Amino acid sequence: MAILVDKKSRVIVQGITGGAGSFHAKRMKTYGTNIVGGTSPGKGGSSVEGTPVFDTVEEAVKQTGADTSVVFLPAKFVMEAAIEAIRAGIKFIVVVPEHIPIHDMLKVRKEAVKYGATVLGGNTAGIITPGQANLGIMPDIAFTPGRVGTVSRSGSLTYYIADTLTSAGYGETTCVGLGGDPVLGSTFDEILWKFEQDDATKAIVMAGEIGGVYEERAQDVIKKMKKPVIVMIGGVFAPPGKRMGHAGAIVEGNMGTAESKLKILEEAGAHRAKTFLDIPRILKSLSI
Amino acid sequence: MRLYEYEAKDLFSKFKIPISAGKLADTPDETIRVALEAGLPRVLKSQVLTGGRGKAGGIKIVKSEAELREAAAALFKLSIKGYPVDKVLVDEVLNISQEYYLGVTIDRANYKLVVIACADGGVEIEETARTHPEKILKLSYDVDEDFHSFDAIKVAKFLGFSGDQIKAFTPIAIGLYNFFKKYDAKLAEINPLVRTAEGKLLAADARVSLDEDALFRHADLQSMGIEVRHEEGEMTPREKQAQEWEIPYLDLDGDIGMFPGGAGFGIMGNDFIQYYGGKPANFMDSGGGPTPERLAKMLILLDENPQVKAIFGARFGGISRCDDFAKGVVMFLKDHGLSKPMVMRFTGNMWREGMQIFEDAKKEDPKMFEKIEYHGIETPIEEIAKRAVALVKEVK
């Protein structure tokens, strides 16, 4: 089992004729992802390395039965693309580009809630269910099928965590990148709850960082969960008031500091990992 | 992206929000001329992109020409939290009978726009929110929702307005909300919103932060002279250099140069170094798929920083491949040369190829690699962090 994406997912790439779109469509397909088509307005009827291209998502859905989309378009076109996909009936959308205008993401989120769709990103490395499907830009090498789920704001941390889980013999069910932008399509609590309901997932590693409020939002769901959650928060030693690359990663006063996030999540029952090597140690101590 | 008070007020007035009658000056002489023309008393307000101007002596009421001359000269010599004062708003002195707070911002956790109002204006609203939450009204809206006159009346009544004051307040609240939506703001505050002894309501100060990622649809801002700028805080010369090179970079006060891949590990790597007893000299993020030139520039920032004693490199080949990364490092070694010891690790996409590029370059010119220790997937990243900490001690 897996969450959000598996080998049956029927995936389209929005922006498939662009540089990033065509490059990653090929990579994803090589991994075994079930890429059934792509979109590029005005280029309908053509194909990119054997993948059919459509003018609209609606056409792509009708012709291919697509239910999942990965967006590779400039940030200013993302809102239109995501809403188009949602209204065409796509239930899961991965937004790889970064710097999506905040007001645009608020609109996308509203639309997604209305239609019961899930959006990841912006600024996400994507999502991978090892051995089944890889959506986005994650490097295959770090991942192995297994029994721990991961959810992270950062691509690089997702890789390091998977690398650690793989080396320790655990492997991963699904690895979810939430994204590094300030307003995200999905939140930790929503993804954690999906893992709670997935039989194959025995524990979850959650990696957050300074700034924003999405980590704190997870406290209620962690209290309700039966599965253990291991939490890492980057930026324990970050200087206040400074912005660290991710637009969301800024500390304002005591709001959103790594320590305040960790405290809230530990009180809710999460286990704190300081470094990657703590993750397998904690899993073993929990007899997983 | 923060706006100056005068810029924010200019924009507010386009949304029918009454503002105090101020004029901008950018030299002491200009300040004096403008103030005398408008007539004394005036209030001289330093225009800087940070809060706490009043406490720092950046706002002065001048009643006489002598006071004006002295204050104008003093303000332009002032630096507030690292921001040199180079513009002064020469504003009218208001006959204040009460100050209020009115703001619009984004509630990221709940995906809403929030209108915030408080009858105690002119103070730190965050502090009031903590100590007296009952004094604050918060109304939430979806991003595509309108703010109606009946919403404004609700706010007006909460603030204690009645009669004509409600009528005067309504367009201000609607104007602020419409401005917020139209210009993709992250924050728009009138603090204080002032009721004068004459019964007028107007914006005496304004604080606005716009979403820099949405500037492409606001070309009119550029024609007003409002251009993309750093959010807040003084930048060091190295940070300015990095910004020119479009590298996310921050100077920190330690001695280990951080040369990581993505922002996430950039942040976490700094923690690792501290867990093992070291202190990072910087934060940095290479971005996805950096070119060799970009990597070389990142290394220049570290190598030319006298504070850096050793460099910690970590690369997880994802969208950027380890072999490309290795090529960038070798290019730097050839063109610039490394003067500090560096320990680094390759893992992820093409890590063996990356190691091989180092091996080959080392065979060709062993001297070039004298200061570099490199590891592959078999060495945990924690060991690399420990080694970087140890290297600093060896240097000392």
B382 has a chain A CB within 8 A of its CB: yes
Residues of A in contact with B213 (CB under 8 A): 75, 99-102, 247
B260 has a chain A CB within 8 A of its CB: yes
Please report the pLDDT score of residue A250 as a whole number. 62
Please report the pLDDT score of residue A208 as a whole number. 94
Taking CA–CA distances from B278, the nearest residue in chain A reads A237
B288 has a chain A CB within 8 A of its CB: yes
Q: A157 and B213: CB-CB below 8 Å? A: no
**CB nearest B267 (choices: A209, A247, A253):** A209
Please report the pLDDT score of residue A18 as a whole number. 94
Answer yes or no: is pLDDT of B54 > 70: yes
Q: B143 and A110: CB-CB below 8 Å? A: yes
Rounded to the nearest angstrom, the minimum Cα separation between B207 and chain A is: 16
Please report the pLDDT score of residue B395 as a whole number. 81
Give CA angle at A146 (A143, A149), nearest 5°.
Answer: 80
**Which residues fall within 8 angstroms of residue A226, CB to CB, at 6 or more apart?**
A196
The ipTM estimated for the assembled molecules is 0.91
Q: What is the pLDDT of residues B126-140, one digit of tens each?
A: 788 888 889 999 999
Q: B109 and A216: CB-CB below 8 Å? A: yes
Read off the tokens for B382: 């924690």
Answer yes or no: is pLDDT of B171 > 80: yes
State how far the alpha carbon of A196 is from the alpha carbons of A128, A173, A175, B74, B230, in Å.
Answer: 17, 12, 14, 63, 41
B298 has a chain A CB within 8 A of its CB: no
B59 has a chain A CB within 8 A of its CB: no
Taking CA–CA distances from B243, the nearest residue in chain A reads A245
B50 has a chain A CB within 8 A of its CB: no
A30 has a chain B CB within 8 A of its CB: no
What is the distance between the alpha carbons of residues B179 and B191, in angstroms, rounded to a whole number? 16
Answer yes or no: is pLDDT of B280 > 90: yes
Taking CA–CA distances from A187, the nearest residue in chain B reads B109
- Given phi > 0 = left and psi -120 to 50 = alpha, else beta, which region is A4? left
The arithmetic mean of pLDDT across residues B254-278, rounded, is: 92
- Whether residue A115 contacts residue A86, with contact meaning beta carbons closer than 8 Å, is answered with yes
Taking CA–CA distances from B319, the nearest residue in chain A reads A137
Choice among B7, B99, B189, B239 that is catalytic: B189
For residue B2, the 8-state DSSP code is B
For residue B93, the 8-state DSSP code is P
**Which residues fall within 8 angstroms of residue B368, CB to CB, at 6 or more apart?**
B333, B334, B337, B361, B362
Please report the pLDDT score of residue A284 as a whole number. 97
Rounded to the nearest angstrom, the minimum Cα separation between B319 and chain A is: 6
The arithmetic mean of pLDDT across residues B163-171, rounded, is: 96
Q: A245 and B285: CB-CB below 8 Å? A: yes
**CB nearest B213 (choices: A100, A212, A243):** A100
Q: Number of A to B CB contacts under 8 A, please give it.
A: 176
**CB nearest A102 (choices: B106, B216, B317):** B106
Name which residue leads in pLDDT, B202 or B260.
B202
The arithmetic mean of pLDDT across residues B148-161, rounded, is: 97
Taking CA–CA distances from A234, the nearest residue in chain B reads B268
Interface mutation vs chain B, best among A237, A264, A272, most B CBs within 10 Å:
A237
Answer yes or no: is pLDDT of B230 > 70: no
DSSP track, B227-279: -----SSPPPHHHHHHHHTT--EEE-SSSEEEE-SSHHHHHHHHHHHHHTT--
Choice among B6, B100, B101, B374 that is catalytic: B101
Q: How confident is the model at residue B291 (pLDDT cuts 50, 70, 90)?
A: confident
A99 has a chain B CB within 8 A of its CB: yes
SS3 B170: helix
Q: A234 and B267: CB-CB below 8 Å? A: yes
**Which residues fall within 8 angstroms of residue B199, CB to CB, at 6 or more apart?**
B164, B165
Asked, as a colleague might, if the bond just before B84 is cis with ω within 30 of 0, I would say no
B285 has a chain A CB within 8 A of its CB: yes
Name which residue leads in pLDDT, B144 or B84.
B144
Residues of A in contact with B106 (CB under 8 A): 102, 106, 183
Residues of A in contact with B231 (CB under 8 A): 243
A114 has a chain B CB within 8 A of its CB: no
B143 has a chain A CB within 8 A of its CB: yes
For residue A131, the 8-state DSSP code is T
Please report the pLDDT score of residue A245 as a whole number. 67
A104 has a chain B CB within 8 A of its CB: yes
The arithmetic mean of pLDDT across residues B54-62, rounded, is: 93
Q: Is B141 a catalytic residue?
A: no
Residues of A noted as catalytic: 246
Answer yes or no: is pLDDT of B24 > 70: yes
Rounded to the nearest angstrom, the minimum Cα separation between B94 and chain A is: 32
What is the distance between the alpha carbons of residues B126 and B132, in angstroms, rounded to a whole number? 10
Please report the pLDDT score of residue A240 as a whole number. 73
Q: B267 and A217: CB-CB below 8 Å? A: no
Answer yes or no: is pLDDT of B231 > 60: no
Residues of A in contact with B109 (CB under 8 A): 187, 213-214, 216-217
State the DSSP H helix or E strand holding residue A172, giving kind and residue range, or none if neither: strand A172-177
Rounded to the nearest angstrom, the minimum Cα separation between B283 and chain A is: 7
Residues of A in contact with B248 (CB under 8 A): 244-245
Question: Max alpha carbon distance in chain A (Å)?
Answer: 57
Taking CA–CA distances from A152, the nearest residue in chain B reads B264
What is the distance between the alpha carbons of residues B256 and B254, in angstroms, rounded to a whole number? 6
Q: How confident is the model at residue B150 (pLDDT cuts 50, 70, 90)?
A: very high
Please report the pLDDT score of residue B181 as a whole number. 98
What is the distance between the alpha carbons of residues B309 and A244, in angstroms, rounded to a whole number? 22
Q: A99 and B213: CB-CB below 8 Å? A: yes
Q: A238 and B267: CB-CB below 8 Å? A: yes
Closest to B182 measured CA to CA, from B218, B206, B207: B218
Share of chain B above pLDDT 70, in %: 98
Please report the pLDDT score of residue B121 as a whole number. 84
Give pLDDT tens digits along chain A (288 positions): 799 999 999 999 999 999 999 999 999 999 999 999 999 999 999 999 999 999 999 999 999 999 999 999 999 999 999 999 999 999 999 999 999 999 999 999 999 999 999 999 999 999 999 999 999 998 888 899 999 999 999 988 999 999 999 999 999 999 999 999 989 999 999 999 999 999 999 999 999 998 888 999 999 999 999 999 999 999 888 877 677 766 666 655 556 789 999 999 999 999 999 999 999 999 999 999
Q: Is B293 a catalytic residue?
A: no
